[in-house]
């Protein structure tokens, strides 16, 4: 139990915060679990489920219910699973190779070398 008045007040405040955050944490867990299940099942609505889970994680991080790094880590793991299910390379058509100009003499720019000027003495 708390020993001082301020510690007692902090304890009461932490209880209130915990009660307020509990439903939000539960909904985040539900959205993430549904997204993981739909990705593992290979369902067509997996992309929408992942989008909802990411939105829930962002809102929870914004309200300080989960740490922002925790939300980012979980979003990253969800996206890895989703991308493993539907490879991005299959969705993007191959691009033509880009030709780049070479630097230096090939582009026509002249490189100048400095020479030391010699001092001539007149006798």
pLDDT tens for 6-45 read: 999 999 999 999 999 999 999 999 999 999 999 998 888 8
H helices of the chain, in order, are 5-41, 46-62, 68-85, 88-91
Q: Where are the domains of the chain?
A: 25-90
pTM for the structure as a whole: 0.63
Measured CA to CA, the distance from residue 36 to residue 103 in angstroms comes to 49
**Positive or negative CA dihedral for 47, 29, 36, 62?**
positive
Architecture field, domain 25-90: Up-down Bundle (1.20)
pLDDT tens for 88-105 read: 556 666 777 777 777 665
Q: How far is CA 24 from CA 2, 14, 36, in A?
A: 28, 16, 18
For residue 54 the two structure tokens come to 């990411």
């Amino acid at each position: 139990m708390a020993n001082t008045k301020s510690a007692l007040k902090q304890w009461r405040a932490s209880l209130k915060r915990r009660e307020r955050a509990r439903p939000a944490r539960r909904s985040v867990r539900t959205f993430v679990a549904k997204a993981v299940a739909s990705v593992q099942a290979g369902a067509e609505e997996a992309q929408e489920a992942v989008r909802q889970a990411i939105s829930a994680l962002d809102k929870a991080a914004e309200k300080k219910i989960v740490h922002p790094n925790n939300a980012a880590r979980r979003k990253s793991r969800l996206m890895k699973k989703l991308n493993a299910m539907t490879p991005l390379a299959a969705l993007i058509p191959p691009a033509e190779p880009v030709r780049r100009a070479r630097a230096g003499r090939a582009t026509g720019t002249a490189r100048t070398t400095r020479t030391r000027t010699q001092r001539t003495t007149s006798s």
